Chains A and B, each alone.
Chain A
Amino acid sequence: MKKYLILILLFLVTGCSSYIELNDLVIINAIGLAKQNNNYHLYISYVDEINKDTIEPTTTVKEMEGNSLNQIIDDLSLILSKKIYMSHLDLLVINDSIKTKELENIINYFLNNNETREDFLVINTDNIKDILEQTKFKEINDLIENNQRETSKTIYTTMYDVIENYYQKENIYLPYLTYNNSLTLKGLKVFSKNKYSLIEEDEVIYINYLLNKINSYKYSYECADDKFLYLNILGANVNELSKELLITNEIKVITNDCKLKQKEIEQIFNKNLKDNLEKITKKKLTIKNTIRGTYEN
């Protein structure tokens, strides 16, 4: 009897304080952050309504202002009179106004919040509001994911990467997107030394080489008039030694109009790679290739 009494008392005392029904949650799926005149501008996109048949959510974007992230989110909870629920956050959009100090604020907020997972995508853009209002997360995610996988012209950056790079004082790379009636990917924004700088799409490949994140990409070379050498680089492995970079490429020849030999193909490809990599690193380069496909012996 004592046992049951204790249990019943316990339940009365605790009072289910974390009990919350699903419909009392505001599911936030994306956040945009900018800074103007020492104030944060927070764009919050949350699920407003769900179509019962297709389970397609309709999102609303709300713009708020305040001096810290915590304060704005607390305010939002008062306005919507529901529990703010950040655990399914998919996207964080920032612009160039977010510098070291603000980044630290963001990182602290997410590190101290156990509810969130830090695996959401972080992107950089100039028109935060348009991107949040006009596009869906899936579009952005697919665009970046596909580009990274097929062309290696961008880097899929999650909050984990941002936090890690921030604390190791390394460059933070963010995909740079613009919205002008349609979504376009315009290379990478690099944040280093409290400054953003843009890297063009073609250069991103070589950044990827340095980070050993290369997936497949295509390379073309005009060997004669209207005659092309098309290569598909299926993947590359980069070993970083103290004073040397060891690069192993796996290459597939797609078109070889000039009927080049294996050695010639390698020479052309290696020269291009070396030229471009030497611009961004001072290490010695050693390149090895395995070539598949059609070429003359």
Chain B
Amino acid sequence: MKIKKIENRLSFFFLTLAITILNIHNLSILGIIIGSILSIFFIFFMEKLNIYKYKVIKIFLMFLTFFFMTIYLNKITYFIGDNILRNYSLISISLTIIIFTYYLANKGYHTIVKVIMLASYFIIFIFLIGFLFLFPYLNLSNLNINIFTSNNLFKESFYYAIFIVYSYFLIYPLSNTKFQIRDLVINSSYQILSFLSIFSVLGLTLESLYKYSYIVIFKKVSLIGFIERIEIIFSLNYLFIFFFLLVLSFYQIKYNLQYFIKKDKNQSIILIIITILIFCTNLLFT
């Protein structure tokens, strides 16, 4: 059975969402809009040149992915350590998550996409419920002109464009599907929506104070004392999305390695990569 387009689109959606959320303090709404227009140009330019077939690009992508992975592994480790497992040594968290990443990435693209598809039933359901719960807490007076403007618009839009192009490379060339502008429009509008809801619930001041404002908004939610303290479910939800970002990045490295190194040596190279990753995330960034 072939993987259909919808699975790839969904993976792309989760990837961009994960990257946006992890970089929430470096982005703004206007930046997202300009960045997505920029990224459309980038992607079309690259598709025209069929850039993915060059070996140089593959090597470059591998290093880029590696670079991004160290950053994101670090961020995700801190996310888990701060929100789910307090008092736990960070190195064991990053070790477990990278082992599970390796386990899933080893199963191949089809299995990864199928796991994403399965998890998406849960993730989308939880997000819908989240928005429903948040509805009474939306305070439209918090939405003023300040949330659109930003000091560093050029940097933000450029960041966003890079994120989109990066997630484009994790999905589309590997699955041989054609990129459509519609996918990007849906993703960016969802991200703008989530930005708006975060700002609307917390306000600009509180949003900038909290490291995990996308979790804190759910801390406010309680339904007449009956259903409360549901933020852990949402943090698990985000964790799924972050995990898929790691898995697809890891798969990208693994897939491109096959072009340069024979298969039997592949495993040990990947183990070395994991070790360096753990080292980088835990020692360089702290």
With A118-B219, A160-B220, A212-B141: A10-B88 Cβ-Cβ less than 8 Å: no
**A54 interfacial by beta-carbon distance below 8 Å:** no
Check if A111 sits within 8 Å of B209, measured CB to CB: yes
Q: State A14–B82 Cα separation when bound (angstroms).
A: 17
**B103 cross-chain contacts in A, Cβ below 8 A:** 3
Q: Per a CB cutoff under 8 Å, which of B83, B88, B89 touches A114?
A: B83
Q: State A120–B206 Cα separation when bound (angstroms).
A: 16
Q: State A274–B88 Cα separation when bound (angstroms).
A: 58
**A6 cross-chain contacts in B, Cβ below 8 A:** 99
Check if B95 sits within 8 Å of A17, measured CB to CB: no
Q: Per a CB cutoff under 8 Å, which of A115, A117, A164 touches B86?
A: A115
**A3 cross-chain contacts in B, Cβ below 8 A:** 103
Q: Per a CB cutoff under 8 Å, which of A17, A118, A164, A212 touches B88?
A: A17
Check if B219 sits within 8 Å of A18, measured CB to CB: no
Check if A10 sits within 8 Å of B209, measured CB to CB: no
Interface of B is mostly: helix
Check if A117 sits within 8 Å of B210, measured CB to CB: no
**A17 cross-chain contacts in B, Cβ below 8 A:** 87-89
Q: Encode contact with B along A94-118: 1 for CB under 8 Å, 0 otherwise.
A: 0000000000000000010011011
**A31 interfacial by beta-carbon distance below 8 Å:** no
Q: State A13–B229 Cα separation when bound (angstroms).
A: 31
How many A residues touch B, CB cutoff 8 Å?
21
Residues of chain B from 214 to 238 with CB closer than 8 A to chain A in the complex: 216, 219-220, 222, 229
**A297 interfacial by beta-carbon distance below 8 Å:** no
**A167 cross-chain contacts in B, Cβ below 8 A:** 205-206, 209
Residues of chain B from 177 to 230 with CB closer than 8 A to chain A in the complex: 203, 205-206, 209-210, 216, 219-220, 222, 229
Q: Per a CB cutoff under 8 Å, which of A7, A10, A119, A164 touches B205?
A: A164
Q: Which residue of A lies closest to B88 (CB)?
A: A18
Q: State A167–B86 Cα separation when bound (angstroms).
A: 27
Q: Encode contact with A along B80-106: 1 for CB under 8 Å, 0 otherwise.
A: 001101111100100110010001000
Q: Encode contact with B along A132-162: 1 for CB under 8 Å, 0 otherwise.
A: 0000000000000000000000000000100
Check if A18 sits within 8 Å of B92, measured CB to CB: no
Q: Encode contact with B along A146-189: 1 for CB under 8 Å, 0 otherwise.
A: 00000000000000100110011000000000000000000000
How many B residues touch A, CB cutoff 8 Å?
23
With A111-B210, A164-B206: A10-B92 Cβ-Cβ less than 8 Å: yes
**B99 cross-chain contacts in A, Cβ below 8 A:** 6-7, 10
**A111 cross-chain contacts in B, Cβ below 8 A:** 209-210
Check if A163 sits within 8 Å of B209, measured CB to CB: yes
Q: State A14–B229 Cα separation when bound (angstroms).
A: 27
Residues of chain B from 51 to 74 with CB closer than 8 A to chain A in the complex: none
With A6-B99, A10-B99: A114-B219 Cβ-Cβ less than 8 Å: no
Q: Which residue of B lies closest to A168 (CB)?
A: B205
Check if B85 sits within 8 Å of A163, measured CB to CB: no
CB distance from A25 to the nearest CB of B (A): 13
CB distance from B90 to the nearest CB of A (A): 11
Q: Which residue of A lies closest to B231 (CB)?
A: A117
Check if A10 sits within 8 Å of B96, measured CB to CB: yes
**B82 cross-chain contacts in A, Cβ below 8 A:** 114
Check if A14 sits within 8 Å of B89, measured CB to CB: yes
Q: State A7–B95 Cα separation when bound (angstroms).
A: 10
Q: Per a CB cutoff under 8 Å, which of B87, B92, B141, B206 touches A163?
A: B206
Q: Encode contact with B along A37-55: 1 for CB under 8 Å, 0 otherwise.
A: 0000000000000000000
Check if A14 sits within 8 Å of B206, measured CB to CB: no
CB distance from A36 to the nearest CB of B (A): 30
**A13 cross-chain contacts in B, Cβ below 8 A:** 92, 95
Residues of chain A from 219 to 267 with CB closer than 8 A to chain B in the complex: 240
Check if B92 sits within 8 Å of A164, measured CB to CB: no
Q: State A168–B220 Cα separation when bound (angstroms).
A: 20
**Cβ contacts A to B, 22 pairs, < 8 Å:** A3-B103, A10-B95, A14-B88, A14-B89, A17-B88, A18-B85, A18-B86, A18-B87, A18-B88, A111-B210, A114-B83, A114-B86, A115-B86, A117-B229, A118-B219, A160-B206, A164-B205, A164-B206, A167-B205, A167-B206, A168-B205, A212-B141
- Residues of B bordering A, CB below 8 Å: 82-83, 85-89, 92, 95-96, 99, 103, 141, 203, 205-206, 209-210, 216, 219-220, 222, 229
Known: A14-B88, A164-B205. 6 other contacts (CB 8 A): A13-B95, A18-B86, A114-B82, A118-B219, A119-B222, A163-B209
